[in-house]
Structure 1
Amino acid sequence: MARTETIELTNMCLLRNGEQVLVENRRKKEWPGITFPGGHVESGESFHQAMIREFFEETGLTLLDPKLCGIKQFFVNETRYIVLLYRATKFSGDLRSSSEGEIFWLPERDLLKQDLAKTFAEMYKVFADDTLSEIYQVQDNINLY
């Protein structure tokens, strides 16, 4: 059995501003719906730097205090995707949408009532619950740890 595999590293951040969270209505056809902003980690980039860069590219905001709060793992063909999940409460800059999707503030209590991206409701549990740190998905089987 091989001890190495192909891995794609990505990230996502829940930004809270009082009772509101920043969400993105993604336009990408492979994962449409409401989610938190995020993207890919580039070669040679730290996870922390990647989160700040991706968040800025998609929202116009600079995260000042992103903290790793969990991970999600899933598979597409022979590639394992690892999504590093962050939370933040401090930011600077001016909000703007990007080609990725519309960005807007939403009361956190209304989040789960939205048209969410597939599996995002399960991911949100890891963002919101300090006793959870991982979501592991193989096809439609989802486990929270």
Structure 2
Amino acid sequence: MSKPIHYKFWTLCMVQDGDFILLLDRQHDHFKGFIPPGGKVEFPESFTDAAIREVKEETGLDVSDLIFKGLYEYVNPVKHDRYIIFNYWTDTFIGTIKEETREGKPVWVHKEEALHLPMQSSIKRRFPLFFEEGTFEIQVEWDEENNKEGNVRMRRT
């Protein structure tokens, strides 16, 4: 009998205003750096509703007209884990950003300067794909023995 697979779902939403994008300056736990707002999908909410909720909680903005950009997933064959991140983009929002949240400080960053900031490799890898036509699927196989990313496969449509 094969082991059950554990699925976990997250969202991420790139919010754009002209040449600027909204990132969180996150300086806690093991996931430090500049990241777009996002987080866990709560059952039974939809993935889009989760992205909208997470942006509101982490930045104070109410977003709408989200465009699905692609999937990013980590697969751990040893632990039978599959973490799937649904990625969205929008330039439609209302409200004022918060000064600080438990996830970090929301800041508007010029799109061209963003990749020069400290950023996790998983964010850097998909960052330019948010601003291209079509969708993407990126699968990263986690190397459990060395505690790091292993094989990376990427598809664009």
Distance in structure 2 (CA, Å) of the matches to 1:10 and 1:28: 19
Contact 1:31 1:118 in 2 (8 A): no
* Structure 1 equivalent of residue 30 of structure 2: 30
Aligned 8 A contact 2:26 2:103 in 1: yes
Q: Which residue of 1 aligns with 2:125?
A: 122
Equivalent AA in structure 2 for residue 142 of structure 1: V
**CA contact under 8 A between 2:12 and 2:51: conserved in structure 1?**
yes
Greater C-alpha Rg: 2
For the aligned residue pairs, the C-alpha RMSD in angstroms reads 1.8
Of 110-119 and 48-57, more deviation after overlay is shown by: 110-119
1:17-67 CA-partner distances (Å, limit 9, x unpaired): 000000111233221111100001001101111111011000000102111
Which residue identity lines up with residue 45 of structure 1 in the other structure? Answer: E
Once the two structures are TM-superposed, the CA of residue 6 in structure 1 deviates from its matched residue by 1.2
Would you identify which runs of 4 or more consecutive aligned residues in structure 1 move more than 6 Å?
none
Instruction: Give 2:80's aligned amino acid.
Output: E
Contact 2:75–2:139 under 8 Å retained in 1: no
Alignment match, 2:146: none
2:152 is equivalent to residue 142 of structure 1? yes
Alignment of 1:66-85 (within 5 A): 66-75=66-75, 77-85=79-87
1:88-121 Cα shifts (integer Å, max 9, x gaps): 0010111013110111000001011111123211
CA contact (8 A) 2:12 2:85 kept: yes
Instruction: Indicate the percent of aligned positions where both proteins have the same amino acid.
Output: 27
Structure 1 unmatched runs, 5+? none
Q: Which amino acid aligns with 2:81?
A: T
Provide the residue aligned with 1:103 in structure 2: 106
TM-score normalised to structure 2 length = 0.85
Mapped contact 2:4–2:80 kept (Cα < 8 A) = no
Alignment of 1:6-85 (within 5 A): 6-75=6-75, 77-85=79-87
Q: Partners in 2 of 1:66 and 1:132 — Cα distance?
A: 13
